[in-house]
C-alpha cells in the first residue's frame, strides 16, 4: 500500500540515483510541475539537485523560485526601505533583475552538475518574487497559483534537539502547502 506523505525527509547520504530509481508515492503518478526554493545556500542547492533529478525522471517542468523579503522601513522614514536602504522604483527593479540573474546562475550551476549521458533536457523556469508577506506564504501561494504538484526545499543541518525542528520557512510551507513537500537535508 502506497501512502502519500506530505513530508519526505532525505539525508544527503541518500544517492540521487536511488531517489530517481525508486518512485515516490504520489497519488497522480508522475510529477508534472516541481517547484524548488533557492537562495544560493548549500542546502537550497542540494534541494535543487534533487528537484532536477526528479524533473528529469518524470519529464516535469522545474520552477526555481527565489523570494526576496522586502521590509518596510521605520515609521519616521520618509520612504520605504529595502534591505535597510531607501527604495526607489528603479532600485527595486535593479535588485529584482540582479536576483533573477543570480537565481538563473544557481540553477544553471545545478543543471551543469546534473548532465548525464542521455542529456535529458528539463523545462526550466526561474522566478524572483519581491515579498511583502512571509516567504513561506509566498512559496505556498505561488505553488497554488501555478498548480505545482511538488515543492522541494533545503533545510540547514542542525544537531541535538534542534534537528527535530524545521526552519520557519520550511515549517510554514509544510503546514500550508496544497501538495506534497520534500525537505532535503
pLDDT at 5: 36
Residue 2 placed within a domain:
no
Q: What is the pLDDT of residue 75?
A: 34
Residue 63 within any structural domain of the chain: yes
Enclosing domain of residue 67: 7-41+50-162+175-179
Give me the CATH number covering residue 95: 3.40.50.620
As a whole number of angstroms, the distance between CA 32 and CA 40 comes to 24
The Cα–Cα gap between 21 and 18 comes to 5
Domain assignment present for residue 184? The answer is no
Q: Is position 123 within any domain?
A: yes
Once rounded to an integer, what is the mean pLDDT over residues 58-84? 64
Asked if residue 54 is part of any domain, the answer here is yes
Contact between residue 181 and residue 151 where contact means Cβ atoms under 8 Å apart: yes
CA terminus-to-terminus distance, the chain: 26
Residue located via cell numbers 510529477: 31
CB 26 within 8 A of CB 5: no
Domain annotation covers residue 185: no
Per-residue pLDDT, 153: 94
Q: How does pLDDT run across 40-68, given as a tens digit for each residue? A: 888 888 999 899 889 988 999 999 898 87
Tell me if 81 is assigned to some domain: yes
Per-residue pLDDT reduced to its tens digit, 2-52: 333 333 444 433 444 444 444 454 556 789 999 999 888 888 889 998 998
Q: List pLDDT tens digits, range 120-163.
A: 778 888 888 878 888 899 999 999 999 999 999 998 755 444 54
The whole-angstrom separation of Cα 12 and Cα 54 is 15
- Give the Cα separation of 104 and 65 in Å (integer): 9
If one counts the domains in the chain, the total is: 1
Amino acid at each position: 500500500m502506497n501512502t502519500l506523505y506530505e513530508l519526505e525527509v532525505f539525508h544527503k547520504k541518500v544517492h540521487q540515483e536511488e531517489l530517481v530509481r525508486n518512485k515516490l508515492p504520489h497519488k497522480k503518478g508522475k510529477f508534472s510541475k516541481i517547484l524548488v526554493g533557492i537562495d544560493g545556500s548549500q542546502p537550497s542547492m542540494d534541494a535543487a539537485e534533487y528537484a532536477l533529478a526528479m524533473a528529469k525522471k518524470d519529464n516535469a517542468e522545474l520552477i526555481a523560485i527565489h523570494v526576496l523579503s522586502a521590509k518596510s522601513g521605520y515609521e519616521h522614514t520618509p520612504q520605504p526601505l529595502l534591505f535597510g536602504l531607501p527604495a526607489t522604483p528603479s532600485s527595486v527593479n535593479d535588485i529584482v533583475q540582479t536576483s533573477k540573474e543570480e537565481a538563473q546562475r544557481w540553477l544553471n550551476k545545478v543543471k551543469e552538475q546534473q548532465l548525464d549521458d542521455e542529456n535529458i533536457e528539463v523545462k526550466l523556469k526561474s522566478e524572483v518574487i519581491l515579498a511583502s508577506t512571509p516567504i513561506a506564504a509566498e512559496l505556498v501561494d505561488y505553488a497554488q497559483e501555478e498548480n505545482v504538484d511538488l515543492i522541494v526545499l533545503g533545510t540547514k543541518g542542525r544537531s541535538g534537539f534542534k534537528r527535530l525542528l524545521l526552519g520557519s520557512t520550511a515549517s510554514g510551507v509544510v503546514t500550508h502547502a496544497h501538495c506534497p513537500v520534500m525537505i532535503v537535508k
